[in-house]
Amino acid sequence: MKFFVDTADIGEIRELADTGLLDGVTTNPSLIAKSGRDFFEVITEISQAVEGPVSAEVAATDFDTMLAEGRKLAGIADNIAVKVPLTRAGLKTCKALSGDGVKVNVTLCFSANQAILAAKAGASFISPFVGRLDDIAMDGMGLIEDICNVYANYPKFTTEVLVASIRSPKDILESARMGADVATIPPNVLWSLFEHPLTDKGLAAFLSDWKKTGQSIL
Ligand code: E4P
């Protein structure tokens, strides 16, 4: 399973990239606004900080402008994935950009039928939003399971299932059990995966016993 981080904070991205475990980054207009930075500047920095795909989202809603924006964003770096919303114009843009060889991430997916449309439009990634479905008492993980099963029926679909709107480590583990290709994870949730109280306790005991031996490895 690939791990992307869902943020436009370059400091967090660099720190996570240093672990060697980061496979890509997703951003959206809300995350860009939260960063308080210039869109092109921050996307350029992120695309240089990681080797994997960096999702940068269009802001237009009509096909012509979306396509022009998508082409401009794709020109920033080879690892840009243009993010488009799951609308009629968004999917038309997806088809055009993917035909040009540009990676496209189709975002704001809330049904398996929408995911089928994105795959048919040549999307590299489909982003179903788990947390936002759970927020309205619907079954986010059920959607992931459904999309993974449907895509598995059609080996010609090459679209990767990118689990988005993740709220907790449990969402990641369940996604992995279902065979989702990618999880895009908020930084705090990603860091929390490293933690376990028994790891801390066990390490403290090993270090204390090692000290008693009076030996040194180097
Ligand atoms: C996906 O690419 C989105 O940026 C993101 O996962 C949305 O998450 P949210 O529902 O926490 O805003």
Residue-wise pLDDT tens digits, 71-95: 999 999 999 999 999 999 999 999 9
Q: What is the pLDDT of residue 218?
A: 97
Residues paired with 183 in a beta bridge? 3, 163
The encoded tokens of residue 152 equal 């598995």
Q: What is the pLDDT of residue 70?
A: 98
Whether 178 is in a domain gets the answer yes
Burial class (CB within 10 angstroms; exposed 0-12, middle 13-18, buried 19+) of 115: buried
CA distances from 152 to 53, 116, 130, 173 (A): 23, 11, 20, 19
Q: What is the pLDDT of residue 122?
A: 98
Residue of 168, 184, 185, 189 with the most ligand 1 atoms within 8 Å of its CB, for mutation: 184
Q: What is the pLDDT of residue 98?
A: 98
Helix (H, G, I), strand (E, B) or coil at 3: strand
Q: What is the pLDDT of residue 180?
A: 98
Whether 36 is in a domain gets the answer yes
**CATH code, 31:** 3.20.20.70
Whether 196 is in a domain gets the answer yes
Q: Is the CB of residue 164 below 6 angstroms from any atom belonging to ligand 1?
A: yes
Whether 66 is in a domain gets the answer yes
CA distances from 177 to 145, 158, 161, 180 (A): 9, 20, 13, 8
Residue 48 is part of which domain span? 2-213
Q: Is the CB of residue 105 below 6 angstroms from any atom belonging to ligand 1?
A: no
Active site residue 2: no
Q: What is the pLDDT of residue 45?
A: 98
User: Looking at the 3D structure of the chain, how many domains does it have?
Assistant: 1
Residue of 4, 6, 55, 144 with the most ligand 1 atoms within 8 Å of its CB, for mutation: 6
Whether 158 is in a domain gets the answer yes
Whether 115 is in a domain gets the answer yes
Q: Is the CB of residue 6 below 6 angstroms from any atom belonging to ligand 1?
A: yes
Whether 20 is in a domain gets the answer yes
The neighbour count for residue 40, using CB atoms within 10 Å, is: 12
Q: Is the CB of residue 107 below 6 angstroms from any atom belonging to ligand 1?
A: yes
- Which residue ranges of the chain lie beneath pLDDT 50? none
Helix axes 112-120, 88-99, angle to 10 degrees: 30
d(CA 208, CA 46): 41
Whether 218 is in a domain gets the answer no
**Which residue of the set 34, 83, 120, 156 is catalytic?**
83
